[in-house]
Structure 1
Amino acid sequence: MSEVVSRYGIIKGAAHIDLYPGGSLRSCVVTEPNEFLTPFGALVPLHQDNGIRRKPGKPITFYPNGCLKNLPLQAQTDIPTSLGMMPAEYLAFYEDGSLHRVFPLDGRLSGYWTEEDEGELARKMDFQLPCGIFETRIIGIQFYPRGSVKSITLWPGEVISVNSPLGPLEVRTGISFYPGGRLKSLEPARPTTVQTPLGAIQAYNCRSLGLNGDANSLCFSEEGTLVSLMTSSDEIELTGKNGEKHPFRPGCEQNLFNPEALDPIPLKVEFAGNKVLLHQNGVREFNLQDYAFAVKSQNLQAGCSGCASCADCAGHCES
């Protein structure tokens, strides 16, 4: 083990040191206690094994200018944010030193430590945002460089209620925001009827993995108009002025691990001015004034493996 110079002082017990071509520190692992003095307080990087949940070896990373980029913490530490103090075991920063992401927990999942074990440590947090007041467990929260909330990723299984341009909606996975605080996107917790220029469509992404809430399937402009959605159950048929028909519907693909199972592929519908863009095997663009539209729910029986239950998704794929 050795010592290495950083803008936060001498880093003791440094190992696996990686440098940028110019010689500045890119990353290292530490095996001894260190204290970094930052605008967010004195932060102690992860350096000591604390059992089956967290082990040392996760690197500290830096930008070329020497500022911290990613920092695993030895113990959960309260960090000042625009929402107040938040507990953190892992932090990410922008290149100017401002706070990018806060992760309250940073356990390493394994055969000995499961998501359920980690979930027992996740405590509910209170949020007061323009879209509503709610209490929930989160995986992480992302901030804009100036400090406003950019997105919140919910803990698996958590559902919150928010005020949206469509009215109150229940949300899973996450929500994202514009810098001014207005809602940018959300992940509907269940199939939700949305009025669109094509008619009423059931918005739901049955393939949402819940990994982060940065980009979700139901999206709005900053003014509150509908930008895009995904549907896992509805077929959309466009009829041109000469009677030509263009059907679009959610698809299926063979599961990689079970050739007898089908995984659903939601249909993405996007609106841009007087046009609708349908994302299926590429993107097809249509002028709204040139077509008539019909939306109908598919009566599908799922043999799929892409979601928790077919009842939740209203079915996706024909067997």
Structure 2
Amino acid sequence: MMNYMVVDDNHIQVANGIFGDVTSFQTYPSGELESLKLEGKNMVVTHAGELVPAFTETPRRKNAPSVEFYKNGMIKAVMVEEQSEVMTPIGDIPAEKITFYPTGEVHRVFITDGKISGFWTEEEEKAYNIPLTFEFDFAAFTAYLSAVNFYENGAIKSITLYPGGKVLISTPVGEMETVIGFSLYESGELESVEPAAPVLVETPIGRLSVHDANAYGVHADSNSVKFNTEGKLLSVKTEENKIIAQSDQEYEIWKPAWKPHPLYDDELIAEAMQISFDWERNTVTFLSEQEATYPIHGTRFVVGKADTGQTGCTPANCASCSLCGSRNSTMK
């Protein structure tokens, strides 16, 4: 169903008004207006307040649409002309781009939205940012942010730090520093956090080194260490450990997969292995190149280094281990 009408060469009418000085627009394959670019001043009324979409091209700003739309005609995102104080569920926040839910509520607020390149560095972009202060049960800090993500009801969903920032988080498994950020449940409990560096975490199958180096450069909506609302560990990611799961005279070895480096064809990088815990079923699930679930009780887990050829055997556990004479060995 059409959600717009072309009035003339540079005017487009939508449900809430008319955009002028339109230089170009894009539509969805089904025909609805998806986005448009402007070269003159317009104003849109949103849950974040009255916004002036970007209409001036500068070397710093991204070559992106001024306004984006959902198929239902509601505004999906606005890149504003100048950084402005916008209304959010936690008060006014300076922003250069705001995204919205299909029902109009503020979804994500980007403090800055410059184009990082060889001609414009993160440090230069940081000059357009300002530190913000937050207080949670698990952390209190003042830091530069890249974005704040909200649930539809207005609760904070995640906070993504600006590159170079660092925040100390008190988690149910100990304190962790993060340089990416963390996510929360709608009720305010810590949901997940991305450690700044490998950190040892006690899990139901042993102590694991937790980290995902490939998480850098993304948002903090979902992270390596996840908890439920009660603070129990739900999942972790590891690049440094392999785990031997042994039961009934058989064993399988789980370890991170290796994949080509995105920039260097002759190099490989480790892809973090995800390990999830189901507290109701009392099981653990490994996800690497394959996926499998084991009962925690009745299965022996031996944790070792992923980058060594050692199985994790020691004289102390030799008598109770059957790895050497096992019938099967499946490498994941």
TM-score band, normalised by shorter chain? 0.7 to 0.9
Please say if residues 237 and 247 of structure 1, whose CA atoms lie closer than 8 Å, have aligned partners that are also in contact: yes
The 1:57/1:208 distance shift into structure 2, 3 A limit, reads closer
Matched letter for residue 113 of structure 1: W
Picking from 187, 194, 215, the partner of 2:222 is 215
CA distances 1:90-148 after superposition (whole Å, capped 9, x unpaired) = 01001111000100111123332223321333222111223221111111111001100
Matched letter for residue 130 of structure 1: D
Q: Note if 1:160 corresponds to 2:167.
A: yes
Please say if residues 47 and 56 of structure 1, whose CA atoms lie closer than 8 Å, have aligned partners that are also in contact: no
The 1:39/1:281 distance shift into structure 2, 3 A limit, reads closer
Picking from 176, 191, 207, the partner of 2:183 is 176
Matched letter for residue 170 of structure 1: E
Moved over 4 A (4+): 19-24, 298-301
What is the TM-score when the length of structure 1 is the normalising length?
0.86
Q: Note if 1:141 corresponds to 2:154.
A: no
SS in 2 for 1:207: helix
Matched letter for residue 103 of structure 1: F
Picking from 290, 312, 332, the partner of 1:282 is 290
SS in 1 for 2:112: coil
Deviation larger for 105-114 or 268-277: 105-114
**What is the aligned partner in structure 1 of residue 103 from structure 2?**
96
SS in 1 for 2:41: coil
Q: Which protein has the larger Cα radius of gyration, Structure 1 or Structure 2?
A: 2
SS in 2 for 1:289: coil
User: What's the RMSD between the two structures over aligned residues?
Assistant: 2.2
Please say if residues 97 and 111 of structure 2, whose CA atoms lie closer than 8 Å, have aligned partners that are also in contact: yes
**What is the aligned partner in structure 2 of residue 35 from structure 1?**
43
Aligned-pair CA distance for 1:167 = 3.1
The 1:55/1:192 distance shift into structure 2, 3 A limit, reads closer
Q: Percent identity?
A: 30
Aligned-pair CA distance for 1:300 = 5.6
The 1:112/1:256 distance shift into structure 2, 3 A limit, reads closer
Q: Note if 1:109 corresponds to 2:112.
A: no
**What is the aligned partner in structure 2 of residue 251 from structure 1?**
257
Unaligned runs of 5+ in 1: 302-319
Please say if residues 183 and 193 of structure 2, whose CA atoms lie closer than 8 Å, have aligned partners that are also in contact: yes
CA distances 1:136-195 after superposition (whole Å, capped 9, x unpaired) = 111111100110011111112221012222232211212111111111111011221211
SS in 2 for 1:193: strand
Picking from 8, 19, 22, the partner of 1:14 is 22
Please say if residues 46 and 56 of structure 1, whose CA atoms lie closer than 8 Å, have aligned partners that are also in contact: no
Q: Note if 1:224 corresponds to 2:231.
A: yes
SS in 1 for 2:249: coil
Please say if residues 47 and 106 of structure 2, whose CA atoms lie closer than 8 Å, have aligned partners that are also in contact: no
The 1:75/1:270 distance shift into structure 2, 3 A limit, reads same
**What is the aligned partner in structure 1 of residue 242 from structure 2?**
235
Unaligned runs of 5+ in 2: 1-8, 310-332
What is the TM-score when the length of structure 2 is the normalising length?
0.83
- In 1, the alpha carbon distance for the partners of 2:62 and 2:258 equals 40
Q: Note if 1:262 corresponds to 2:268.
A: yes
CA distances 1:11-48 after superposition (whole Å, capped 9, x unpaired) = 11013234568876432111110111233222100001
Please say if residues 239 and 306 of structure 2, whose CA atoms lie closer than 8 Å, have aligned partners that are also in contact: no
**What is the aligned partner in structure 2 of residue 199 from structure 1?**
206
Aligned-pair CA distance for 1:59 = 3.6
Matched letter for residue 133 of structure 1: A
- In 2, the alpha carbon distance for the partners of 1:135 and 1:168 equals 17
Matched letter for residue 265 of structure 1: E
Deviation larger for 106-115 or 276-285: 106-115
Matched letter for residue 246 of structure 1: E
Aligned-pair CA distance for 1:234 = 1.7
Aligned-pair CA distance for 1:271 = 0.9
Matched letter for residue 251 of structure 1: A
Q: Note if 1:292 corresponds to 2:305.
A: no
Number of residue equivalences = 299
